[in-house]
Amino acid sequence: MGQQDMPTGPADSGKRRLGVMGGTFDPIHHGHLVAASEVAAQFHLDEVVFVPTGQPWQKSDTRVSPAEDRYLMTVIATAENPQFSVSRIDIDRGGPTYTTDTLRDLRALNPDTDLFFITGADALGQILTWRYTEELFSLAHFVGVTRPGHPLTDPGLPEGGVSLVEVPALAISSTDCRARVSAGAPVWYLVPDGVVRYIDKRDLYRGD
Ligand SMILES: Nc1ncnc2c1ncn2[C@@H]1O[C@H](COP(=O)(O)OP(=O)(O)OP(=O)(O)O)[C@@H](O)[C@H]1O
Ligand SMILES: O=C(O)c1ccc[n+]([C@@H]2O[C@H](COP(=O)([O-])O)[C@@H](O)[C@H]2O)c1
H, E, C per residue of 97-135: CCHHHHHHHHHHHCCCEEEEEEEEHHHHHCHHHCCCHHH
Task: Report whether residue 56 contacts ligand 2, using a CB cutoff of 6 Å.
Answer: yes
Whether 123 lines ligand 2, by a CB cut-off of 6 Å, is yes
- Distance CA(43)–CA(50), nearest Å, equals 16
Ligand 2: atom nearest CA of 101 is 1
SS3 readout for the chain: CCHHHCCCCCCCCCCEEEEEEEECCCCCCHHHHHHHHHHHHHCCCCEEEEEECCECHHHCCCCCCCHHHHHHHHHHHHCCCCCEEECCHHHHHCCECCHHHHHHHHHHHCCCEEEEEEEEHHHHHCHHHCCCHHHHHHHCEEEEECECCECCCCCCCCCCCEEEECCCCCCCCHHHHHHHHHCCCCCECCECHHHHHHHHHHCCCCCC
Question: Of the ligands numbered here, which is closest to the C-alpha atom of 125?
Answer: 1
ipTM beyond cut 0.95: yes
Are the beta carbons of 175 and 169 closer than 8 angstroms?
no
Q: What is the pTM of this model?
A: 0.96
Mutate to test the pocket of ligand 1, among 53, 142, 173 (most ligand atoms within 8 A of CB): 173
What is the Cα–Cα distance from 63 to 70, expressed in whole angstroms?
A: 13
Q: Which atom of ligand 2 is nearest to the CA of 100?
A: 1
pLDDT of residue 3: 39
Name the fold adopted by 16-171. Answer: Rossmann fold (3.40.50)
Substitution candidate for ligand 1 out of 1, 21, 32 with most atoms within 8 A of CB? 32
- Measured distance CA(48)–CA(42) in Å, rounded: 13
- Provide the residue-wise pLDDT of the chain in tens; the chain has 208 residues: 443 344 467 888 899 999 999 999 999 999 999 999 999 999 999 999 999 999 999 999 999 999 999 999 999 999 999 999 999 999 999 999 999 999 999 999 999 999 999 999 999 999 999 999 999 999 999 999 999 999 999 999 999 999 999 999 999 999 999 999 999 999 999 999 999 999 999 999 998 7
Spans of all domains in the chain: 16-171
Instruction: Tell me the CA–centroid distance for residue 158 and ligand 1, in Å.
Output: 23
Alpha carbon of 165 to those of 19, 45, 141: distances in Å? 14, 14, 13
Residue 146 neighbours by CB under 8 Å, 6+ apart: 1, 121, 152, 164, 165, 166, 167, 169
CA distance 164 to 1: 9
